[in-house]
Structure 1
Amino acid sequence: MARLSRAIALFLVLLAALGAGPVLARAPVVLAAASLQEAMTAAADRWTAKGHERPVLSFAASSALARQAEAGAPADIFVSADEQWMDHVAVAGFLAARTRAPLLTNQLVLVAPANSRIALAIRPGFPLARALGNGRLAMGDPDAVPAGIYGKQALTRLGVWPQVAGKVARAESVRAALALIARGEVPLGIVYATDARAEPRVRVVGTFPASSHAPIVYPVARLRQARSADAEPFRRFLLSGEGKAIFRRFGFGTR
């Protein structure tokens, strides 16, 4: 119910943005995964510096954004943190034909508050539950949020999920999980490497093997309901060498 309420609220915000005036109506509205906040903002800054209207950026979990796209939200571009939620929107018929493309890659990491002394080697059967003690493991909701889905896959393949499943602090997005760790409310959490890089109050304990989870791929696509004349040019900019260089500065891999 809480996720539904947040999705409705986001939809109303986007409606308000569309109706705010002709300038916003010309600017592309971008639904972007929460982990893209700094990088996508930098990309929007560069686009604006070229003389274009500044894109309207809306950040949330890919699951929430996918539901907004399917509800007909007045948005132009969707950048998901996984293929699954982009597939979801595609199957529902809300992607513009032949505009979907892989954009970025990432890594999954185990992090702790910066002042933590926890040391763990990530390998099959590693003692994660013991390291948590009476604390909880922060991660995106493993039933919906891409970072949480990847995290559950990794912990399952490493054989430790059964021991920690009951200790998970399910966050509404990867950035919400990151905030719990940064504030010291949990001893450990799972986020993307780029999230850890963006938050000085956490440190990386270890990186999950790429073989322990599905490939982390961020696809981008123009939405069928796109209304901005800049929607397709901005999508192409994100996929250009110049656009990808911006994302690489923030630690993302590019496709």
Structure 2
Amino acid sequence: MVSRIRSDLTRRALLAAMLVAGPFRAGAQAAPLTIFAAASLKPALDEIAAAWDGPVALSYGGSGTLARQVAAGAPADVVLLAAIDWMDWLAGQGVLEGAPVSVATNRLVMAGPPGGGPVPLEAAAILGRLGADGRIAMGEPMSVPAGRYAQDALEALGLWQALAQRMLYAEDVRAALAYVARGDVPFGLVYGSDIVGSGVSVAAEIPSEAHDPIAYPGAVVAGTAAGARDFLDHVVDARDVFARHGFAS
């Protein structure tokens, strides 16, 4: 009798668990892959993810912020950053599966308003265009690679000391671009890819030799969902998409 009662209770418990979980459906959609990506990748990566055969959840931000989140255990399957040193730091935390791969490269420009015309990379010329209280938008150098590239370039060009007090720091490079696009600031230091389709113009090209190469590494996070490596390969293979959005491979 006791055995029969226990058996009946076990069956009831299993039935209750099935009712809570819901009926099993063959071919139910898999959980989406979660991709942490540098904000500057958004236009291209949105298109690349839309062509992926499966659900993808994209989370964009500054590379330093994303790297720290992944190292702290944030549930990312693939991470795509805008700086090799942040990816190297992340690899040193022991949270990546396999070696990072190169995804794309970029260039740094000074963005200006539509029809604003070029500006020489000289302190007097830039300050003259800024006026009494105009600012230059750029990413926060401590967490945004575009900001660090920008500061390094201005230092190499001998402009940082004259312009440092006129900087408006943004949480990522797309936010810096938005300041320019809205007319909040006369200039912004952003990536060449950010200019594509934005409505703003290139006021000055920043010499590539004035800063470290701008490269985007990608990696799979250890212990993540099946398909993460295939998605990263899909991103690497999308060179034509990156090219249309102003990147180089």
TM-score w.r.t. length of structure 2: 0.84
Shift of residue 118, structure 1, vs aligned partner = 5.1
Runs of 4 or more consecutive aligned structure 1 residues displaced over 6 Å after TM superposition: none
Aligned to 1:43: 48
Q: Secondary structure at the match of 1:35?
A: helix
Q: Secondary structure at the match of 2:87?
A: helix
Q: Secondary structure at the match of 1:185?
A: coil
The letter of the residue matching 1:140 is G
Q: Is the 8 A contact 2:109 2:190 kept in 1?
A: yes
Aligned to 1:216: 214
Q: Does 1:244 align with 2:239?
A: yes
Give the number of aligned pairs. Answer: 221
Q: Does 1:127 align with 2:128?
A: no
Mapped partners of 1:45, 1:74: distance in 2: 21
Taking only the aligned residue pairs, the percentage that are identical comes to 39
1:56-115: CA deviation from partner (whole Å, max 9, x where unpaired): 1111111111111011111110100111211121111111123x1111000100011215
Sort the Cα spacing of 1:126 and 1:84 in 2 relative to 1 into closer, same or farther, 3 A.
Answer: farther
Sort the Cα spacing of 1:126 and 1:244 in 2 relative to 1 into closer, same or farther, 3 A.
Answer: farther
Sort the Cα spacing of 1:136 and 1:71 in 2 relative to 1 into closer, same or farther, 3 A.
Answer: same
Which has the larger Rg? 2
RMSD of aligned Cα (Å): 1.6
Mapped partners of 1:94, 1:119: distance in 2: 44
1:198-232: CA deviation from partner (whole Å, max 9, x where unpaired): 311x1111111110110000001101142x21101
1:35-66: CA deviation from partner (whole Å, max 9, x where unpaired): 1111001101111xxxx212111111111111
Query: Which of the residues 204, 207, 213 maps onto 1:206?
Result: 204
Aligned to 1:192: 191
TM-score w.r.t. length of structure 1: 0.82
Aligned to 2:10: none
Mapped partners of 1:203, 1:127: distance in 2: 17
The letter of the residue matching 1:66 is A
What stretches of structure 1 of length at least 5 have no aligned partner? 1-21
Aligned to 1:229: 226
Sort the Cα spacing of 1:205 and 1:231 in 2 relative to 1 into closer, same or farther, 3 A.
Answer: same
